[in-house]
Structure 1
Amino acid sequence: MIGAGVFVAFAPAARASGDLLLLALAIAVVVAGLNAHSSARLAARYAESGGAYVYGRERLGTPWGHLAGWAFVVGKTASSAAMALTVGAYLAPGRSTSLAVVVVLAVLALNLLGVQRSARAATVIAAVVIAGLLAFVAVMLLAPPELLVESAPRSDPVGVLGVLQGAGFLFFAFAGYARIATLGEEVRDPARAIPRAVLIALSAVAVIYLLVAVALLRSVGSEWLSARVSPLAEAAEISGVPWLGPVLRVVAGVAATGALLALLLGVSRTVLAMARDRYLPHLLARVDQRGVPVAAELSVALAVVLLVVLFDVRAVIGFSSVCVLAYYAIANASAATLPAGALARSIPVLGMIGCLVVALALPLTSLVSGVLVLLVGAATGWLSHTARTAGGEGG
């Protein structure tokens, strides 16, 4: 969860929600919490790879599972592009796109070699990033920037739509807790480990993001923040401890690259699962002698490179959020069918409503492109399911 999002999402969120950034963050936390509750219950019951692709298939029917898998693949492909662009923005501001492409190709090479980010490496990266974020909070509160150019007050007042849009951008920074579910077959004691890991991680990350948001608002303000590309590093560079800026650039690069390595792994495995079920070309289901899905890895990496070259980080974050929120809406709908009391069943219903409302509030370009891509996936899944059903009846 602590990857590229915390280093880039606050800027577009501030542009949308202004001084109500904390309210947007609170909404994102609530929606993520409802989703986490549903994801944890489902992951404990269906401990197999695929996440909401499996949940939708088992609880709602095959077409819904296909749509969830499609939403995950396209949404997380866009997230991967955002990760790569974050590396470029922080480490090579003048050549961010070129570096982003190089990073994607390097991660692809590692995945094709079967090199994966181990749990120990993930722990080290998380510890370094958290230390960097806490240092940033301390510096912004104790030695804030003094030489800021005064910005004009915001001409248009922030309304409900702006706050919800800000929540949509910030939701991007939380998405990640379901990664455990997509790799459910590889988790020991999933019924116990998955719910605990999801809920503890979400709570810890929410506290860290709250501290970062408060530090940004108190030190530089929402107007300055909204115009940044690498906001944390840029804020640190004009603070009383300017050397922290370059340090944060390196930390952000490491965090985003590590997240990209894990993300491409998860996306390619979902592509593999869908290809095995013949909802994607069966070529993508091929694995080499080491079990690496080479065709799936190459296809996902190519799509990420195209997004990196064609769009900026704000656009890919918005598109990713639309698709990922749709994914979690299906997960919530699936969880609502699980046997439970009235109170427990109301949580996934609220989660589903929250996902849809926040998604609809995102920028129109992101919303339209996301909906169109999801409709393509839905139509493909429905046609495939109808053809199979007809074929089965004919046989």
Structure 2
Amino acid sequence: MSRLASWYKFTIRALKGEPEDLTKGSIRAGVLLLAIPMMLEMAMESVFAVVDLYFVGHLEHSSFAVQTVGLTESVLAFVYSIAMGLSMATTAIVARRIGENEPEKASRSGIQALFIGMGVNLFIAIPGIIYAEEILMLMGSSATSAAYGKTFTQIMMGSTFIIMLLFLINAIFRGAGNAAMAMKSLWISSIANIILCPILINGFGPVPAFGLVGAALATTIGRSFGVVYQFWHLFNGKHHIRVVLSYFKPDFAQIKALVLVAYPAVFQFAIASCSWTFLANLVATTGGDEGSAGYQTAMRLMMFFMLPAWGLSGAAATLVGQNLGAKQVERAERSVYVTAKFNLIYMGAVMLISMLLAPTLAHFFSNDSRVQEISIQAMRIMASG
């Protein structure tokens, strides 16, 4: 009982997000203090697609709707690749400056990452809005399904700047060791999405039923709430990170440094995104709308379980950055080993849960028997790997 009480107190401490000196004390405790909120943060990020999947999976044309959500998410994977790569670089540089006891430099570095993200986003959002229907057809969607999902994809592609801000500002908080703040912004976004999805998709009182388009609106509005919350705390920071308007001017030397750190991670995630996009296209082309819907259902559910593992990797990045900044190389190295051990245990548990609960999850997220059958097979194959 005392052990359970200790774990409860420790978890509350991690979720509060009070300032911690991560260059001293137990490495295991440091990993968990960061990993608990970071894993919950990434779980909340994956909730967006899962919530959309549930509600659109019960629409009249559910196979078209589920396929559209999945194919759009596959295209957005490129946005996530850039956002995650930049986030890793931002976390590392901010953490390094915090470890060197330079909070102002940490804040300035974080703002430069936002400039990069917004600049890159222009080349993604504009073509995405203009060619939404063509993108869906290029991904293997039928002409009927692409026409049905066009507006959903336009809204999602147009809101990529919000996704970029959400990722990058959270990276600033994580680098400063305030993983709880990053978690809270995703919780706000996800709770708003969960409330808005049934209202905007199915209608409620004077609010009309938008159907599939309602899912895109709910997701975009929910994420926007999270970004507003982030900016409030950036400008009113009480801990390591606090920004002022004068920081919002390009520093090309700092931008270059961030790009040099970020590009290997961006390419790493981009390669993975290319493989996911290729598979999504292949399944849609060979398996039709139902095959694509089943695959996308399985993929969204697996990502729900797998994204928290990236939260653990974020804990490692923060610990390594702050300890390198404090000139504690050996401690930084040991932080990686401890985090890897926790990740191995977590992924083993994910494999077992996915294998056992595949039928239950498939039936919960779709009312189409063929889609259910395909998603069960796909989940079990993915889990075994």
TM-score (norm 1): 0.31
| Larger relative contact order (Cα-Cα within 8 Å, sequence gap ≥ 6) | 1
- Structure with a larger share of its residues in helix: 2
TM-score (norm 2): 0.32
